[in-house]
Amino acid sequence: MREVESNTVTVGRYLLHRQIARGGMATIHIARLMGDEGFNRIVAAKRLLPEFAEDTEFVAMFMDEARIASKVHHPNVVPVLDLVTTVDEVMLVQEYVHGVPLHVLLRVAHEKNVRFPARIAVAIATQVLSGLHAAHTTFDEMGTPLDIIHRDVSPQNIMIAVDGSARLLDFGVAKATMAAHVTRDNTFKGKLAYSSPEQVRGRPVQQTDVYAISVVLWELLVGARMHGRAKGEAELVATIMTGRIPMIGEVLEGEMSDEERRLVLAADPIVQKGLAVDLEHRWQTAADMEEALSKAVPPATSSEVAAWVRSVGQEFLEGRDKIIAAEEASWRRTQGATQIASRRSGTTLPIANHEPPRPPPALRGHNAIILVLAALVLVLGAGVVFAMHGTPSASATTSPPPPPPTQVAEPAPVPAPPVEEPKPVVAPPEPVAEPAATPQPDPAPVEEPAEPPKAMRDAPPVRRPPMRPAPRVVKPVVKASPPATVPAAASPAVPAPPSVPAKEAEPKADCNPPYYFEGQKKVFKTNCL
């Protein structure tokens, strides 16, 4: 346990705010359940007083009964959420119910001389009976009945919420309370007033809770304490054991309408059966009493109960609202100061509904832009590679016309003949080989003379048609130099037949190659120009 502020204490994961009630064994605080990522929830924390927290046997019973009570699930039962134990603290955590305790409503109604309407009283009693029956029939996870007995049904443990529902508190804690009652005089005198004869003997059963709610209903209908005239604890115990309890009709005082008196008297025999000393004559279950009571007196609706509670308990509700609002404002200021200090120190606090940081709208498409630019770079690179690889391929598959001017070795005024342009890409020439005996060229490249004939050097340059596609050339032509790849020039010693002119022998559409030789002279075909 550590002090956070002068009026705030942290116990485990709970932040305890100011005290809102105090009993004989514990104090009740508005508390805040602190979770991860800024989660918090308002709950009610019941802290054992130091003298009880130091009692090992009492704490053991308290914890055992709290664990059992946590298994009760019903709309008219305030659930037990957690049990916290530290070196010097024992604390029971329950759901916080915004409403007015029944004992406060009884006191305020008595002070204002206001009677509990019979239908309002019956509505509260039937809801408590429904919650009791649910507890009495609770089973554990293995299907074993737990035989839970509340043992402390009283106006202090019944909360009337602002929605008109009656909620029963502190299931299972009463067993420890009664054990402490044996050794502490007058500590639980108020609780003793709602105890049954068998409970006083120390042998409570589930019908004990039916007896206690019957006492509560008697007081709501009459508007006074049932054992208010007892002059001491001995007389109180004697009245309980003997069952000398007056009927409601005998003590009913004050002005009321005929309809109201009729409803009260209709409920009287049902209450008397619930107060029977003999268990055989008492209602056997809480459900039996609830059914009989609902048939005798129609219970008020939840909206009617809520309106009555707000009118009678208005002052109490306003005070409780102010307390919660003040504690909430104080907590928010503390949290804000803590966050500012953490920002100044460079630390980071968990934030509720935390989301990962998102880029500004202008940068949200940054990744898409990068992808588009990368695609453009790839396309441009592919185009460059295609252009680089496409130029040699076109040059190699065409006939031997001259390459672009950038590859010409001679000065611009005297362009080199086409046969000399492939020299930079061809291996050094070898000695001239003997002319082949056959007219067909050898598949291997044919060697050229070191210097072409004078007729070829003096021949004017011929330009290649710009738009005419070049036909594909066989593989040996690609690897050899342009003059050596022409089949007609494979044997320069064999002249063309003189009887048939070369220009007429060649077909008009045969432009592969676009020239022929007359002896050692290259003559270009006019049809191919």
In contact, 72 and 148? CB cutoff 8 Å: yes
Mean pLDDT of 207-221: 95
Query: Average pLDDT in the 408-428 region?
Result: 47
Look at the domain 97-310 and name its fold. Answer: Transferase(Phosphotransferase); domain 1 (1.10.510)
Nearest to 24 by CA among 134, 136, 154: 154
Q: Poorest-confidence range of 112-121, 167-176, 448-457?
A: 448-457
State the CB neighbour count (10 A cutoff) for residue 255. 7
Please give the pLDDT value at position 154. Answer: 93
Q: Is the pLDDT of residue 144 over 50?
A: yes
Sorted by sequence, the CB contacts under 8 Å of residue 205 that are 6+ apart come out as: 149, 198, 279
Mean pLDDT for 18-29 is 81
pLDDT (0 to 100) of residue 83 = 86
**CATH 3.30.200.20 domain locations along the chain:** 1-96
Q: Looking at domain 1-96, which CATH architecture does it have?
A: 2-Layer Sandwich (3.30)
Active-site residues: which are they? 152
Residue 266 in this model has a pLDDT that exceeds 60? yes
Which of 242-246, 298-302, 478-482 bottoms out in mean pLDDT, i.e. has the lowest? 478-482
Looking at the predicted structure, is the pLDDT value of residue 412 above 70?
Answer: no
Domain with CATH 1.10.510.10 in the chain: 97-310
Q: Please, which residues bridge with residue 30 across strands?
A: 44
Q: What is the pLDDT of residues 343-368, one digit of tens each?
A: 454 443 443 333 343 444 443 455 56
**SS3 state of residue 230:** coil
DSSP 8-state symbol, 488 = G
Look at residue 270 and tell me whether its pLDDT is greater than 90: yes
At 30, is the pLDDT very low, low, confident or very high (cuts 50, 70, 90)? confident
Question: pLDDT value at position 333?
Answer: 78
Query: What pLDDT, on a 0 to 100 scale, did the predictor assign at position 408?
Result: 43
- In this predicted structure, the answer to whether residue 47 has a pLDDT above a threshold of 50 is yes
Instruction: Evaluate whether 230 touches 239 at the Cβ level (below 8 Å).
Output: yes
Higher pLDDT, 277 or 328: 277
CB 423 within 8 A of CB 450: no
Q: Cα-flanking dihedrals φ and ψ of residue 192, to 5°?
A: -60, -30
Q: Which two tokens stand for residue 324?
A: 């919660």
- Place 60 in a pLDDT band, splitting at 50, 70 and 90: confident
Average pLDDT over residues 193-208: 92
Quote the percentage of the chain above a pLDDT of 70.
64
pTM value is 0.61
Q: Residue 421: is its pLDDT beyond 90?
A: no
How high does pLDDT run on average in the chain? 74
